Structure formats: structure tokens, C-alpha cells
Amino acid sequence: MSRPRPASFGLLVVGLGVAGVPLDTAVNIAFPAITAAFDLQVRSIQWIVICYVLTYTSLMLVFGKLGDLLGYRRIFQIGLLISAVAFVLCALAPSFGWLLLFRVLQGIGAALAISVAPALATSLYDERDRSRALGAYAGLFSLAWALGPLLGGALVDRWGWGGVFWFRAPVAVLALMLSWVLPAPERAAGRRFDWLGSGLLAFWISALLLALALAQMPGGGVWLPLALAIAGINALIVFAMHQASFSEPILRLSLFRDLDFSLLNLMSLAVSLVGFAVLLLVPYYLAGIVRLSATWGGAVLAVSALGMILGSALAGRLWGGKRQKRNALAGVVLVIAATAVIGQSADRSALAVMAVALLCQGIGLGLFQVAYTDIVTGSLPVHDRGVAGGLAMVTRTLGTVASATLLSALFQQVRQAALDGGRTAEAAFLRAFETTFTAAAVFLLITLGATFLRRRMWRG
């Protein structure tokens, strides 16, 4: 029997502790205020995102392994402490340079907390209830993501741009105070931490992400992103060779010899790439075409997060265990269909249709992400659950960054071609919007079709 009351409270503590990560969507609303406060050019604001995302993505697998070795609660608590300090420092940053440095610190805290959070969530329940635990955890994560844009505008209006950081500090402190109800840490005896492998892993992930980020910057050139990509690939090769000879690898690369496991991770990257198109382009559609206020625009975007909450709950209660592949497949199909509909409903009169499509895409994302995390978690030994949670977040983030690079480039190219062809600014936007979402849906459909060449990929 599971322990519903203590486990449920513990799960709420975990959800509260990681809430600072999805609540970072509030920072996007503060971009104009930050730009004005530090007298920045608009293109400089992207470094607030790059410094944070690059840091926590490159460190999640490393910290997940530390959690496996030192105990998940200990790593979680360190992450909460660093996060609380980072939120205060970000809010008090005297210059843009200091703000970027404190965002790096925030990324370290986020990586520590979020890398072990899924492992903590599943440790609260019996193994047979793992799917429900992950579904509930993902639902709490999505709820915080939905609240970010809604809270961000009100906070900036009342307390300035620093408000989007201030309000998360007491949340982290409260979670830290309550974290003692979580399972006590157990240090793994006789297991060594791979410092060299950790450095190589962090370097190749950060080099790849930075290359993708620089590639989309106007006037950024080609050579620096190319050099970073080559350096990252070389580091990946050395990392793989080192892991094969180390007794306690950070990530057991032998797992990727299983073609089904590798394809599932690639599918996670592809789903994240397509799913991020909503955050990338729909806000501009709502503000520029439908002309909604920031508050109402945030409410429409929150429909997608509501769908993710529903999808996460469904994934935890439908098929579990080995049959989670059915949830993953259903989620991918929903994301494909909803993405195509979003692209075809870019008209003022079709806002209701778009809202329904956003809801369905959110459900699809919730279904897939919980199912994927559950499958990855079940594929790794129990003592590697921290690495499992880190791997799930890394593939999602890589897909998000790739989306920001590739889909942004496609949108801008189609929009500029339409303007050069004599279309109005609004007509050019709508043309680019439709093309980008349609291309994203087709890409995911082709990716899904390719996986069916592996006949047993979706069986179970």
C-alpha cells in the first residue's frame, strides 16, 4: 500500500521547491522593464535567458549523478538555498553584467533542485505507483508554468522588474524549511564521482547550446558558432570514450545501444522543438494580430499549461509500466494535430479554435512528457534515478533551444519574403505564422513515421 497522506504532502514540497524554475516565465514579461532600466538594446536581453538556460542544462545530469551518490534530499536542499540567494541577488543587481552573473548562480540552484526532483517524487511512493507520482509532479510543474506570465505582469506593474525575482525567494525558503519531511539522504558506499566526465559533459552541452544561441543572433557570424559546435562534438567523443572505461559513469551510454531507447530520446527532443513554437510565436500573434492586453494574452497562453496539467494527470492514470508507450504515442499524435490546427487558425475570428488547439497540444505534451520520463526512469537502475530525471530535462531543453534557433529562422525568412513580395506587415506575419506551424507539424509527423520503421518501437 502507498502512503497517500505523507506522500502527497512530500510531493507538494517537491513541487513547491522546483516551482522557481517554471515560474521563470514571469521574467519574459519583465524584459521591456529590464531593457529600460539598464538602457539596453533589445537584442541584449536574450543573454538573460542564455546564461540561465545554458547553466542549468549543462549541469543537470552532473547534479543528478551527485544526487544518486550523496542523497536526493541533500542536493535538493542545497539547490533551494542557492536559488533563494540568487533570487535576492538578481532583484538587487546594480548593473546588467551583475544580473547575468546572478542568473548563472540561479541556473546552478535550478539544476541542483530540478535534477533530483523526479527521483524524490518517485521515492515517496511505491514503485507500482511511479506513473502517478510522475504525473502529479508534472502537473504541479505545469501549474507553476501557467502562473508565471499571469503573475509577472502584476509584479512588474507594482514593484518593477525586480518583482519577478523577489517573489520566488520566500517560496524557495518555505520549501527548504519543509524539505525535512522528505526521505533522508543515503550516501552510496563505494561509488566514485566522475569529475573528468562531469567537466566534459558540462562542456559539450554548454558548447552546443551556446553555438545554437549565437547562430540565431543578427550579425553573429558563422565561425564562432561552428567552432563551438566542433569543440562540443569533440568533447562528446572524449566523454563517450571516458565513460566506457569508468567504473561509475555519469550516464551509462550502453543504454543507447537499445534503438528504442535512443529513438524515444530523439522523439522527446523533436516534441519539445515543436511544442515550444507556441511560446515562441503565439504571444506575438495575440498582441499584434488579435491585439489582446498582456493580461488576456497570458490567460490564453495559460490554456496550454492547463492542457499540460490535464495530460500529466491522464498519463499517471491511464496506461502505466511498459504500456506507457501508448501514452507517449497518443501524446505525439495530439501534438501533431493541434500544431497543424494552430497554424491554420491564425485569424482574429478563430481565437476560440486556437484556444482549443492550445489546450489539445498541452494535453499531448503532458501525456508524452510524463510517459517519456516514466520510461526513462524505468530503464535505469533505482540508484540512477537522479540521472534519469536529468536526462529527461536535458532532451526537453535541447529541443527548446533548437526550436528558438530553427523555427525563428524559418519564421523570419518567410515573413521577409512576404514583405518583399508586397504583402502588408500583418499579412506577412500571418503567412509566416502559418508556414512555421505547418512545417513544425510536418516535421514531427515525419519523425514519428520514421520511428515506425522500427516495428516494435511503440508496442507495449
Per-residue model confidence (pLDDT) at position 259: 78
Sign of torsion over alpha carbons 94, 92, 49, 113 = positive
Q: Give the C-alpha separation, 121 to 171, whole Å.
A: 18
Name the nearest CA neighbour of 340 among 448, 413, 440: 440
Per domain, the residue ranges of the chain are: 1-179, 194-247, 251-460
Give the C-alpha distances (Å, rounded to integers) separating 244 from 197, 225, 239, 247, 378: 11, 29, 9, 8, 22
Task: Check: CB of residue 109 under 8 Å from CB of residue 79.
Answer: yes
Rounded Cα gap, residues 316 and 301, in angstroms: 24
Instruction: For domain 1-179, give the fold.
Output: Growth Hormone; Chain: A; (1.20.1250)
Among left, alpha and beta (phi > 0; psi -120 to 50; other), residue 39 is left
The CA distance from 256 to 241, in Å, is 14
Kindly give the residue spans of alpha helices, DSSP state H, lying in 93-222. 96-123, 130-159, 163-166, 168-178, 195-215
Q: How many CA atoms does the CB half-sphere of 326 hold within 13 Å?
A: 11
Same fold, 1-179 and 251-460: yes
Instruction: List C-alpha distances in Å: 291 to 50, 280, 282, 357, 411.
Output: 29, 17, 12, 19, 20
Fold annotation for 251-460: Growth Hormone; Chain: A; (1.20.1250)
Confidence (pTM): 0.77
Give CA–CA dist 88/75, Å, rounded: 20
CB atoms within 10 A of CB 287: 14
Helix, strand, coil % in the chain, rounded to nearest 5:
85, 0, 15
Given this model, what pLDDT does residue 169 score?
94
| Local confidence pLDDT in tens for the 460 residues of the chain | 344 446 788 888 998 998 888 888 788 777 778 888 888 775 677 788 878 888 888 888 888 888 888 888 999 999 999 999 999 999 999 998 899 999 999 999 999 998 888 888 888 877 777 777 777 888 888 788 778 877 877 787 788 888 889 999 999 999 999 988 887 766 655 567 777 877 887 887 888 777 877 776 666 667 787 888 888 888 888 888 877 777 667 667 666 777 777 888 888 889 988 988 887 788 778 877 888 776 677 778 778 888 888 888 787 666 555 577 888 889 999 999 999 999 888 776 678 888 899 999 999 998 898 888 888 777 766 666 666 666 777 777 778 777 777 887 888 889 889 998 888 888 898 899 999 999 999 999 999 988 887 766 776 5
- DSSP of 419-459: HHTT--HHHHHHHHHHHHHHHHHHHHHHHHHHHTTSTTTT-
Cell numbers given for 420: 518583399
Give yes or no for a contact between 145 and 327, defined as CB atoms under 8 angstroms apart.
no
The pLDDT, as a whole number, for residue 421 is 87
Place of cell 509566416: 432
